[in-house]
Amino acid sequence: MKGNLFKAIKCFVVLVVALALCGTLLVSTSRTTVFVPGDEGCTPGYWKNHLGSWPPTGYSPNDNFDTVFGVNYFDPDITLEQAVNARGGGLNKLARHGTAALLNAAHPGLAYPLSVAEVMALVQYGLADSLANFNEYGCPLNSDPW
């Protein structure tokens, strides 16, 4: 009994520490598994030069940026392809990195650390620098397989 209690406490402490570090917890029926966020992300440069990698994401280069992200940043409106090609800082940087982050999060072949919903929230809050950092993690997609 005492040994089982010690194991339970030890597992609980490991679980709490892992959850605090990782932020996400998946529970299975046989044991508790901690999901470690992904460590992959492709840059805006990758996405603007590999339009053939977009289809698995469910997003099109022709989709309207403001509509996709639920914002009203651009007048006239721009497409996701225009956004990923945008130059400069400010809203252009946000559009460029927001679009790349969206495609990273939605692509089934990438282990991106953010979900689509989290990317959309960061774009809505205007946090381009955070998105830029995640987009620099390293891209395992080397060609347009689709």
Task: Tell me the pTM.
Answer: 0.74
Q: Where are the domains of the chain?
A: 2-34, 44-135
- Mean pLDDT (the chain) is 81
CA–CA separation, 58 vs 12, rounded Å? 39
Q: What is the pLDDT of residues 64-116, one digit of tens each?
A: 999 999 999 999 999 999 999 999 999 999 999 999 999 999 999 999 999 99
Position 8 scores a pLDDT of: 40
Region of 16 please: left (phi>0), alpha (psi -120 to 50) or beta: alpha
Identify the residue with better confidence: 92 or 20: 92
Task: Transcribe 74-101 into DSSP letters.
Answer: -SS--BHHHHHT--SSHHHHHHHHHHHH
Position 142 scores a pLDDT of: 75
